[in-house]
Amino acid sequence: MKFGFLLLVCACSAQLQAQTTQAAHITPLYGPAGVSAQAVRQGMLGTCYFHAAIAAIASRNPDLLRSAIEENADGSYTVQFRDGSVETVQKDDVLYGRAKFYDQSDGLWVLVLMRAMAQQTVRNALVDEIGATPLPTGVKEMATQLIKSNDLILTAYDRAIRTTISQGGDMQRAALKNAVTSEASALSIPGFLSQPAIDVLDTSGFFDGLAQRIKVNGELFGAYHLAGQGGLPERVMATYDRPGSYVPITDMTSLRALLSKIQTQALPAVATSKDSVDVAVLDRIIAAGGVAGWWIPEHSYTVLEYNETKDTVTLRNPWGHHPGADGVFTLSTTDFITAFRGMSVMN
C-alpha cells in the first residue's frame, strides 16, 4: 500500500512537469544586467522588502543567487535554499506572476526566487497546520508525506491562494476550498489523492492557522502593502544566504559603526524608512542640493555603499526608479538618520 502511494506521488509529479513542457521561454532567465542590484525592479505589489533584500544579496554575492537556480529542460526551475531544501518552480507560474506585474526585473530570475519562497511558505504552512490538527497520527503522517513530496497538491494550493487572497491578505474558507478543488481538477489530480488534501480545510483549526500564515506573507501571493512587515527582509536573507538581524538606528555613533561594518565586510543590508518625516527636512535636503523625490514612508531600500570619507550613504529604491532612472541616490548620514528607522543586516 505504501509503495503504491509513493508511485502515485511520483506519477503526479511527472504529470505536472509534462503539463508545463509547452511553456515557451518568452523572457530569458537573465537579462543584460545579469544577477545584479540594477536588474531588480519591484512590480505592483508591496514587496519592497523582498526586492530590496534580493538586490542587496545580488550586489554582494551574485554568484550565490545564480547558483541557487537551475533551469530544467521542461522549462521549470529548481531553486535550492540555504538550508539545502529545494522547490521546483513551474514556468507557467512565473509567467503568471509576470503577467500580473508581480515583478518587473531584468530577466525572470528575481521572480523565480520569489515564487520559490512563496511555495516553500505554503508547503511549510500546510505541514505545520496538519501537525496541529486533532487528526489521528497515522492520517497526519500520510498527509504530511503527501505535502512534502507531491508538487501537484502544493501547486493546487499555491495557485488557489493566489486567486482567492484579498488585497489585504485575507482568505475565505469556502472560496479557498472551491479554488483548490478547481485547481486540483485542472491539474488532473486523482480524486482519492486530492480529496483528503481538500477535506482537511474543514478540520478544526487548520484553515485559520493556514490563513494567518499566508496573511503574514501576503505580498508573495499577490496581496499588497500588509501591515507588520517587520522581519521580512531578514527572512529573505536567511532563505537565500545567511540569517540577518534588524538593527534600530538610535544615534550617529552606532550608525556610522554599523555602516562601516557593512562596507568593510561587504554585508548585504536593507534600510527601512520611517513612517513620516517633517516636510521641512525634505525641503532642506533639496535646497542643499540633495535629490528630490527619494523618500517614501515605511519603504525598504538596498544599501549599496557607505563612503566614510564623505560620510555618505548610497541607496537604491527597488522600484528601479524614483528618483532617477535607476533609483540610486546618496544621502549624508545626518539626513539618513533623520529619515530611516533601522536596517536589516546580514549576520
At 169-196, the pLDDT tens digits run 999 999 999 999 999 999 999 998 889 8
Given the C-alpha cell 530590496, which residue does it identify? 52
Q: Which domain holds residue 318?
A: 243-346
Which among 170, 187, 221 is the end of a domain? 221
Q: Do 212 and 256 belong to one domain?
A: no
CA pair distance 54, 109, nearest whole angstrom: 10
Q: Where are the alpha helices (DSSP H) in the chain?
A: 2-19, 48-60, 62-68, 91-99, 109-131, 137-149, 151-164, 173-186, 191-199, 206-216, 232-240, 252-264, 279-287, 333-339
pLDDT for the residue 106 = 96
- Check whether 149 has a pLDDT greater than 90: no
Q: Do 256 and 210 belong to one domain?
A: no
Provide mean pLDDT across the span 85-106. Answer: 95
CA pair distance 138, 178, nearest whole angstrom: 26
- Check whether 338 has a pLDDT greater than 80: yes
Grid cell at residue 205: 483549526
Confidence of residue 212 (pLDDT cuts 50, 70, 90): very high
Note the pLDDT tens digit of each residue in 150-168.
899 999 999 999 999 998 8
Backbone Cα Rg of the chain: 22
- Check whether 2 has a pLDDT greater than 70: no
Provide mean pLDDT across the span 70-99. Answer: 96
Q: Do 269 and 189 belong to one domain?
A: no
- Check whether 291 has a pLDDT greater than 90: no
CA pair distance 67, 35, nearest whole angstrom: 11
The alpha carbon torsion through 99, 102, 106, 112 (nearest 10 deg) reads -90
- Check whether 111 has a pLDDT greater than 60: yes
Q: Do 248 and 206 belong to one domain?
A: no
Give me the chain's average pLDDT, please: 88
pLDDT for the residue 343 = 96
Grid cell at residue 265: 565586510
Note the pLDDT tens digit of each residue in 297-315.
889 999 999 999 999 999 9
Cα 147 to chain centroid, rounded: 20
pLDDT for the residue 216 = 86
| DSSP annotation string for 285-336 | HHHTTPPSS---TT-EEEEEEEETTTTEEEEE-TTS-SSTTT-EEEEEHHHH
In a domain, 227, yes or no: no
What is the percent of the chain where pLDDT is above 70?
Answer: 89
| DSSP annotation string for 3-33 | HHHHHHHHHHHHHHHHHTTT----S-SS-TT
Which among 221, 252, 284 is the end of a domain? 221
Grid cell at residue 51: 526586492
pLDDT for the residue 9 = 36
Q: Do 95 and 200 belong to one domain?
A: yes
Q: Do 256 and 147 belong to one domain?
A: no
In a domain, 13, yes or no: yes
In a domain, 132, yes or no: yes
In a domain, 33, yes or no: yes
Q: Do 192 and 78 belong to one domain?
A: yes
What is the separation, in whole angstroms, between the first and last Cα of the chain?
Answer: 47
- Check whether 225 has a pLDDT greater than 70: no
Q: Do 191 and 258 belong to one domain?
A: no
pLDDT for the residue 293 = 76
pLDDT for the residue 130 = 93
CA pair distance 206, 200, nearest whole angstrom: 7
Q: Do 342 and 280 belong to one domain?
A: yes
Helix then strand then coil, % of the chain, to nearest 5: 50, 15, 35
Note the pLDDT tens digit of each residue in 24-55.
345 799 999 999 999 999 999 889 999 999 99
In a domain, 229, yes or no: no
- Check whether 243 has a pLDDT greater than 60: yes
In a domain, 205, yes or no: yes
Q: Do 309 and 203 belong to one domain?
A: no
pLDDT for the residue 11 = 36
Confidence of residue 3 (pLDDT cuts 50, 70, 90): very low
Give me the phi and psi of 314, to 5 degrees please: -105, 130
Count of domains observed in the chain = 2
Q: Do 71 and 193 belong to one domain?
A: yes
Which has more pLDDT, 236 or 15? 236
Provide the CATH number for the domain around residue 315.
Answer: 3.90.70.10
Confidence (pTM): 0.87
Helices and strands per DSSP (H, E), number in the chain: 14, 9
pLDDT for the residue 65 = 98
| Residue 45 DSSP symbol | S
In a domain, 129, yes or no: yes
Q: Do 87 and 201 belong to one domain?
A: yes
Note the pLDDT tens digit of each residue in 246-266.
999 999 999 999 999 999 999
In a domain, 181, yes or no: yes
- Check whether 231 has a pLDDT greater than 50: yes
pLDDT for the residue 226 = 53
Which among 186, 221, 256 is the end of a domain? 221
